[in-house]
Structure 1
Amino acid sequence: MGLLSQGSPLNWEETKKHADHVRKHGILQFLNIYNKVKERQRDVLKWGDEVEYMLVEMDDKNGKVRLVLNGKDVLEILQEKGENINPNHPTLWRPEYGSYMIEGTPGQPYGGTMSEFNTVEDNMGKRRREAASVLNKNETLLTVTSFPRLGCPGFTQPEYKPTPVEKGVSKSLFFPDEAINRHPRFSTLTRNIRHRRGEKVVINVPIFKDKNTPSPFVETFAEDDGEAVRGALPDHIYMDAMGFGMGNCCLQVTFQACSIREARYLYDQLATFCPIVMALSAASPFYRGFVSDIDCRWGVISASVDDRTSEERGLEPLKNDKFRIHKSRYDSIDSYLSCCGEKYNDIELTIDEDINKQLLDAGIDRLLAQHIAHLFIRDPLSLFQEKIHLDDENESDHFENLQSTNWQTMRFKPPPPNSDIGWRVEFRPMEVLNKQPSARCLSVCQMMQADIVIVLFAHAPASGSLNRTRNYAAQTGSLIIWIVLLIFLVMVVFTTVLFSGELMTMAKWMREFVSKHPQYKQDSVITDKINYDLLHKCDRIARGEEKCPELIGDPVNRGK
C-alpha cells in the first residue's frame, strides 16, 4: 500500500522541482531515525501478513464476472464496524490501487510462539467472512492474483470506457481511470510515472501459442495515437497502464527483528528464497483476456511502474539524466545488507555518490550506505503541497516517499519516528492464491517445527544477537533463524508435492481448467463464460462449498 499522505498532489513538473529537496531531507530523516535507534536491542519477534482482495459481481444470468468499483464504500463500512469502535478489533482494512480492491491485515501483529502460527488461518478466515458480510447480493470477495479479463471491454461494474485521447490519468486504451482508487496517491503515481517516462508504460507478455492461436499474434488498436504500434510486440499481449500491475493482488509478510543487525541478516537470508517462493506460489497465467506464456505477475507489475526515461534505460546517451538505471523501481533486490552477504554483492550497483559519501561521513557503514544511496537514485513520484516542508526530527515522509516507491522483493524498514516499532523486513514476492496446504504438507511441517526447536536450543550461540535462552520473548535471534529454516523446509515440502504432481500450482490448475472448458477454442482467448466458470469455481472452493484435491489436497484448518 505504501505511504498514504493526504493533501494537494503536485503534477510531475512541480514534483520534479522539489526532487532534490525530498532527497536531501529524506536522508536527514533517515539519519535522525538511525541515530536514535541504532543501538536498540531485544525487540520481540512480531510479524503480520497483508492480503489483497478483489470485489467482484457474479452475473449468473449472463455468465459474466465484473470487478465492482465500490472498494471505498466497502472499506468505510468495514472500518466503521471494526477499528473505529474497537482499537483491538482482530482485523484492519486499508485501500489498495484498484477501486475494486481492499487490503486486509490482522488487527495486531502475531507473536513469536509456536501457537501463533495456528491462529493465522483463522484470522484470514475472519477477514474473508467480515468483508463478505457487507457486500451486496451477487457480490463476492476473490483472492486471485490477476483478474483474467482485466482491461477487456465491460470488465467493471459500473462499466466505464477508457479515455486514451482525452485528458486523464493513465490515458490507457484498456484501463479506465475510474478503476483506480480515488485516494490522490494512486492517481498521482499513475500520472507522474507516465509524465516522467515521457510516454505510457509498455507491458509485453508472451502469449501462449495454442493450436489455433494466430501466428504471428498481432493486434490492432482503435484510438491508438501511435504508442501502441511502437510498443506492442508480435506474439505478445500488450498492456499500457499501471493498473495492469498494481491492480493485481499479492501476499506480503513483515517481520520485526530484535535489532538492526538481525534485521539485516534476515533480509539477506529471505532474499535468497524470493524467486523460489514466487515460483511455488505462481497464480497468474492470464492477462487482458488471453492465455499467456508466464505464470507469475512480477514482470508485469515491474513494467507497469517503470518510470525510467529512454536515457536511463540505455536507449539514448545520458544528457538530461544522471544515471543509467538497469531495472524498474519494482524488481529484485540489488545488494545484500549483512556482513555475511557482503561477499555475494557481485553485480553493478548504481548509487548516488554524493548521498553515499554523506551517509559514510555520518557514520553509516558501507553496506547500508550504498543500499540507501541506491534507493535514492530515484525521483519522488507523489508529492503533496502540504508535505514539502517537514520536521526532519519527528517526521519521515520524505524518506518514505522514496523508500515506499522502491518496490523490491525484500524491503528493509527502519522504525517510524518516535514509535515502539522496531527494525523490520518485508517479504514481498508471493502471489495470492485460492488454496491452502494439504493435510500431508501440514503434518510434515508440524513435525519439522518440533525438530527445528530442538536444533535451535542445541546450537544457538551463547552470546551476541542470537542469545541462547528458552524464553521466546528474549530469544528473538533464534526465532529469526527458526523462521528462515521453517520457510526453507516448508518450501522443500511444497516443492516435493508440486514436482511429484500431488498438487498443482494455482497457475497450472487454472490453465488446465481453461484448456478443458467446452467453450475454449485452443486460440488463447478467455471468453466471458470461461472467465465466469473459472472464478465461480474459485469462489466455491474458497467458501468450502466445493472440493478440489488436485489443487489443495485434503485441507486442514489448524485454527480450530
Structure 2
Amino acid sequence: MGLLSEGSPLSWEETKKLSPHVREHGIEQFIHLYARLRDRQGDVLKWGDEVEYMLVKFDDKNKTAKLSLRAQEVLDALNEKERLDPYGVKSLWRPEYSAYMVEGTPGKPFGGLLAHFNVVEANMRYRRQEVTNLLPPGETIVSITAFPRLGCPKFSHPEYKTRPDDPDSAAQSNYFPDEAIYAGHPRFKTLTRNIRQRRGEKVSIKLKVFKDENTKLPVEGSPPGEPDVVHMDAMGFGMGCCCLQVTFQACNINEARTLYDQLAPLCPIMLALTAASPVHRGYLTESDCRWNVISASVDCRTPGERGEAPLKPGEIRIPKSRYDSIDSYLSEAGKDYNDIPLIYDEAIYNRLLKGGIDPLLAQHVAHLFIRDSVSLFSEKVHQNDEEDTDHFENIQSTNWQTMRFKPPPPNSSIGWRVEFRPCELQITDFENAAIVCFVVLLTRVILSYQLNFLIPISKVDENMHKAQKRNACQSELFWFRKDVRDKEACDCANGKDSDKKQNECKKMECEYELMTVDQIINGKETFPGLVPLIHSYLASMDVDTDTHCTIQQYLRFIQKRASGEILTMASWIRKEVVNHPEYKKDSIVTERINYDLLKKIKDIEEGAPCPELLGSANKTKTQDNIPSAIVKHLTNGACS
C-alpha cells in the first residue's frame, strides 16, 4: 500500500492547502537523494514478492462465506514475532486497505542464486500456514483477487450497515461500510475521505454486466441511462482487491531504468495471463481483471480534470487516474517510444533539471507531481529535505502504476529498485510462485541477452485495455515487438545512427505486430517466445537438479496457461459459476454459489487436484526450510 507514516491525519481542506508545500519539498528531497545516490554501483540482485490475502469465515450450516473483518487482530499476533526477533523471522506482515486483508512478504529478500527459485513456494506456504495457525475453526485465509460478493448485503462478518448520507462517513458508500476499511492505521480512511472530497463526489466504478439468457436489465444500482452497468461507489471495491507484486533491486540506477522500461510492455501480457477477477458486487461481468476497478476506485480527478466539465482556475486536463499504466519510458532506449503527450508540472520539471536530473527522469517525476497529496499527517509537515523523503514518497506512493521506479530509502543498504505491479493473485502457492519466478527469470534474460521489448507507450496502453476483456488470454491479440534481439533497432532507438533512424525507422510499425499471448510466451516461426528464451539462458547456467526440476514445472505451467491447455483463474471461476446448479443464467452469483466456490477454492489451496486450472501438479517439491547455503546469501531487510 505504500508509505505508512504515523501521526494525526489532516482534513482534506488542510491537506489541500499544504499540497504545494508537499510538492515543493518532495522535489527538494528527491534532488538531494539523487545527488547522494546517483552514482551508487555494485548492488547485487535482491528480490521479493508481496502477496495479499483475504480472511474468510464459513458458516457451513447456513452455507455462507463472508469476509472476516479481523485483520488488525491477526496482524497484531503476526507482528509480535517480528517485534521479538526482527532479523530471524521468515515472513513479514503489513496492513492493507481493508479490514479483511493482510499482506505477507519474505522475511528477507531472495538473491541472485538460481537455488532461490526452489524456496519461493515453500516460503509462500509457510506464510499461509502462519496465518492459518492463528484462525479459529470456520475461518480461513484465501489468495483470491476479488471477493465475488463484496458490496452485497451482509458480505462481511460482523455485518455493518452502510451510511451513504452520513457526513462523518469516509466512503459514504451505498454498498461498502466504513467498518470494512482497516482501522489500525489512519491512512486508509483518510485516503478514502480525501479522494472523495477532492473529486467532489463519490468515486464511480463501472463494469459491463455479462449478459446471459435471463439477465435482468437494468442491473440493480446501475446509473441512469446505463442499464447494463454493474456500479460500485467506494475505494474499497478496488483497494479491497488483492494482487501479486514483485520488487527487484538493480545494480545501479541505469539498470533499474532499463528494467522499468523493458518490463512495461510485459505488464498487459502478464495481466491477461493472470486474469482472476470476473465477478464484482455479485455479478458476472465482461471484465476478467481488477485493474480498471482499482483505477476508478482512487480516481480523485475533478470533472474538469477528467474532461467532463469546464476547467476551473488552477486545473489541467489529466488523461488518467493516479492508478493506471505508466505514461513514459525512463531509459534513453525508450525515449523515442514515448509517443503520448505527457502532462507534467513545468516549474517542477525545470527545478529538477536545475538540480542535475536528466530530462527523461525529470519529466517522469514532474508527471507524478501533477497530483495533490491525498493523505498528510500533522507531524510530517515540516521535514529536513536533506535527510527525509516522506514528502517525496507521499506523492510517489500514491501514484499506483503498472511499474514503479523506487529510489533507495535514506540511510539504508537498499539500492535502486523496480516494482512489477500488474499481476492478479492466484488460488495456490504453486501458481503464485510460478508467476513470480517467471518474471524474475525474465529480468535475468533481459539483462543477459540485452533484449529489447520496447514498443510505443500508446500500444502498451492499448494492450492494457485488451488484457482485461473476457477471455483475453485466448481471444485477444496484443502488440509486441517482432525481434527482441534486434540490436540495430536498439541502436536506432538510442539515436546512435541518425541516418538509419530517419531512413529505416520513420515508421515504428515495422518493429512490432499483433500476437497472441501463446505466441508471445511460447513462440512461433518468426518469434522465439519468452519461455524458450529463458530455457536458452538456463542452458548456459549451472543449475542443481532440484532447482532445475522446480523451474521446469513453473515454466510448463506458464506455457500451458498461455496456450489455453489450462484455464486462467477468471475463466475457471466463470465455469464454476455458470455450471452451478443454483445459477439461473441471470449473471448473479448468489450466497450459495459464492459459498461453494470459496469452499472449492479452499480445497484446491489445500491440495485437491484441479487439472483444468493447474495441470497435473499444484505444488513442487520445494523445501520448507531455506537451506543454509542460501541463507548465507540473504541479507537483513526485506526488498520492499
TM-score when normalising by structure 1: 0.89
Partner of 1:420: 413
Distance 1:317 1:41 in 2: 49
Q: 1:191 aligns with which of 182, 188, 193?
A: 193
Partner of 1:26: 26
Partner of 2:42: 42
Q: 2:350 aligns with which of 343, 357, 361?
A: 357
- Is 1:538 aligned to residue 615 of structure 2? no
Partner of 2:478: none
Partner of 2:609: 547
What do the CA deviations read for 1:167-226 (whole angstroms, capped 9, x no partner)?
Answer: 210000000000001110000000000000000000011100001102x33435xxxxxx
Partner of 1:224: none
Q: How far did residue 121 of structure 1 move?
A: 0.4
Change in Cα spacing, 1:133 to 1:293, as seen in structure 2 (3 Å) is same
Q: 1:396 aligns with which of 389, 392, 398?
A: 389
Letter in 2 for 1:551: L
Letter in 2 for 1:274: C
Letter in 2 for 1:283: A
Distance 2:76 2:448 in 1: 47
> Per the alignment, in what secondary structure is the counterpart of residue 66 of structure 2?
strand
Distance 1:192 1:413 in 2: 25
What are the residue-to-residue correspondences of 1:460-499 with 2, within 5 Å?
Answer: 486=534, 496-498=559-561
Q: Is the Cα contact below 8 Å between 2:12 and 2:374 reproduced in 1?
A: yes
Q: Is the Cα contact below 8 Å between 2:327 and 2:340 reproduced in 1?
A: yes
Distance 1:404 1:322 in 2: 22
Partner of 1:170: 171
Q: How far did residue 234 of structure 1 move?
A: 1.8
Letter in 2 for 1:99: A
Partner of 1:386: 379
Partner of 1:518: 581
Q: How far did residue 69 of structure 1 move?
A: 0.6
Q: Is the Cα contact below 8 Å between 1:204 and 1:239 reproduced in 2?
A: yes
Letter in 2 for 1:151: G
Letter in 1 for 2:239: M
Distance 1:313 1:522 in 2: 36
Change in Cα spacing, 1:82 to 1:361, as seen in structure 2 (3 Å) is closer
What do the CA deviations read for 1:376-398 (whole angstroms, capped 9, x no partner)?
Answer: 00000000011100111111110
Distance 1:25 1:235 in 2: 46
Distance 1:111 1:345 in 2: 32
Change in Cα spacing, 1:488 to 1:533, as seen in structure 2 (3 Å) is farther
Distance 2:130 2:311 in 1: 52
Q: How far did residue 156 of structure 1 move?
A: 0.7
Letter in 2 for 1:187: K
Partner of 1:328: 321
What do the CA deviations read for 1:310-340 (whole angstroms, capped 9, x no partner)?
Answer: 1100112222333210000000000000011
Q: How far did residue 559 of structure 1 move?
A: 1.6
Distance 1:554 1:109 in 2: 30
Distance 1:456 1:429 in 2: 24
> Per the alignment, in what secondary structure is the counterpart of residue 272 of structure 1?
helix
Distance 1:488 1:141 in 2: 38
What are the residue-to-residue correspondences of 1:74-153 with 2, within 5 Å?
Answer: 74-153=74-153
Q: Is the Cα contact below 8 Å between 2:79 and 2:92 reproduced in 1?
A: yes
Letter in 2 for 1:24: E
> Per the alignment, in what secondary structure is the counterpart of residue 47 of structure 1?
strand
Distance 2:565 2:68 in 1: 35
Letter in 2 for 1:327: K
Q: How far did residue 137 of structure 1 move?
A: 1.2
Q: Is the Cα contact below 8 Å between 1:210 and 1:523 reproduced in 2?
A: yes
> Per the alignment, in what secondary structure is the counterpart of residue 18 of structure 1?
helix
- Is 1:505 aligned to residue 507 of structure 2? no
What are the residue-to-residue correspondences of 1:283-322 with 2, within 5 Å?
Answer: 283-322=276-315
Q: How far did residue 136 of structure 1 move?
A: 1.2
Change in Cα spacing, 1:362 to 1:276, as seen in structure 2 (3 Å) is same
Q: How far did residue 84 of structure 1 move?
A: 3.0
> Per the alignment, in what secondary structure is the counterpart of residue 430 of structure 1?
coil
Stretch of structure 1 that moved more, 482-491 or 148-157: 482-491
Q: Is the Cα contact below 8 Å between 1:83 and 1:89 reproduced in 2?
A: no
Letter in 1 for 2:397: S
Q: How far did residue 246 of structure 1 move?
A: 0.1
Gaps of 5+ in 1: 221-227, 462-481
Distance 2:254 2:373 in 1: 28
Distance 2:25 2:425 in 1: 36
Letter in 1 for 2:24: K
Q: Is the Cα contact below 8 Å between 2:429 and 2:605 reproduced in 1?
A: no
Partner of 2:527: none
Q: Is the Cα contact below 8 Å between 1:311 and 1:321 reproduced in 2?
A: no
Change in Cα spacing, 1:279 to 1:454, as seen in structure 2 (3 Å) is closer
What do the CA deviations read for 1:509-529 (whole angstroms, capped 9, x no partner)?
Answer: 000001110000000000100
Letter in 2 for 1:211: E
Distance 2:170 2:448 in 1: 54
Change in Cα spacing, 1:59 to 1:76, as seen in structure 2 (3 Å) is same
Letter in 1 for 2:61: K
Q: How far did residue 81 of structure 1 move?
A: 3.0
Distance 2:446 2:563 in 1: 28
Letter in 1 for 2:610: C
Change in Cα spacing, 1:454 to 1:364, as seen in structure 2 (3 Å) is closer
Distance 1:271 1:500 in 2: 22
Change in Cα spacing, 1:363 to 1:500, as seen in structure 2 (3 Å) is closer
Letter in 1 for 2:594: N
Q: Is the Cα contact below 8 Å between 2:582 and 2:593 reproduced in 1?
A: yes
Q: Is the Cα contact below 8 Å between 1:119 and 1:558 reproduced in 2?
A: no
Q: 2:271 aligns with which of 269, 275, 278?
A: 278
What do the CA deviations read for 1:427-469 (whole angstroms, capped 9, x no partner)?
Answer: 000000114668xx99x98xx99x9699769x9x9xxxxxxxx
Distance 1:180 1:483 in 2: 40
Change in Cα spacing, 1:484 to 1:74, as seen in structure 2 (3 Å) is farther
Q: How far did residue 495 of structure 1 move?
A: 6.3
Q: Is the Cα contact below 8 Å between 2:121 and 2:430 reproduced in 1?
A: no
Letter in 2 for 1:198: G
Distance 2:283 2:33 in 1: 47
Partner of 2:620: 557
Letter in 2 for 1:530: I
- Is 1:367 aligned to residue 429 of structure 2? no
TM-score when normalising by structure 2: 0.78
Aligned length: 523
Stretch of structure 1 that moved more, 76-85 or 391-400: 76-85
Distance 2:255 2:15 in 1: 36
Change in Cα spacing, 1:164 to 1:510, as seen in structure 2 (3 Å) is same
Distance 1:97 1:487 in 2: 39
Q: How far did residue 543 of structure 1 move?
A: 1.2
Q: 2:214 aligns with which of 199, 212, 229?
A: 212
Q: Is the Cα contact below 8 Å between 2:218 and 2:226 reproduced in 1?
A: no
Distance 2:154 2:90 in 1: 36
Partner of 2:248: 255
> Per the alignment, in what secondary structure is the counterpart of residue 207 of structure 2?
strand
Change in Cα spacing, 1:374 to 1:244, as seen in structure 2 (3 Å) is same
> Per the alignment, in what secondary structure is the counterpart of residue 332 of structure 2?
coil
Distance 1:277 1:148 in 2: 22
Q: How far did residue 233 of structure 1 move?
A: 2.6
> Per the alignment, in what secondary structure is the counterpart of residue 65 of structure 1?
strand
Q: Is the Cα contact below 8 Å between 1:67 and 1:100 reproduced in 2?
A: yes
User: Alignment RMSD, CA only?
Assistant: 2.7
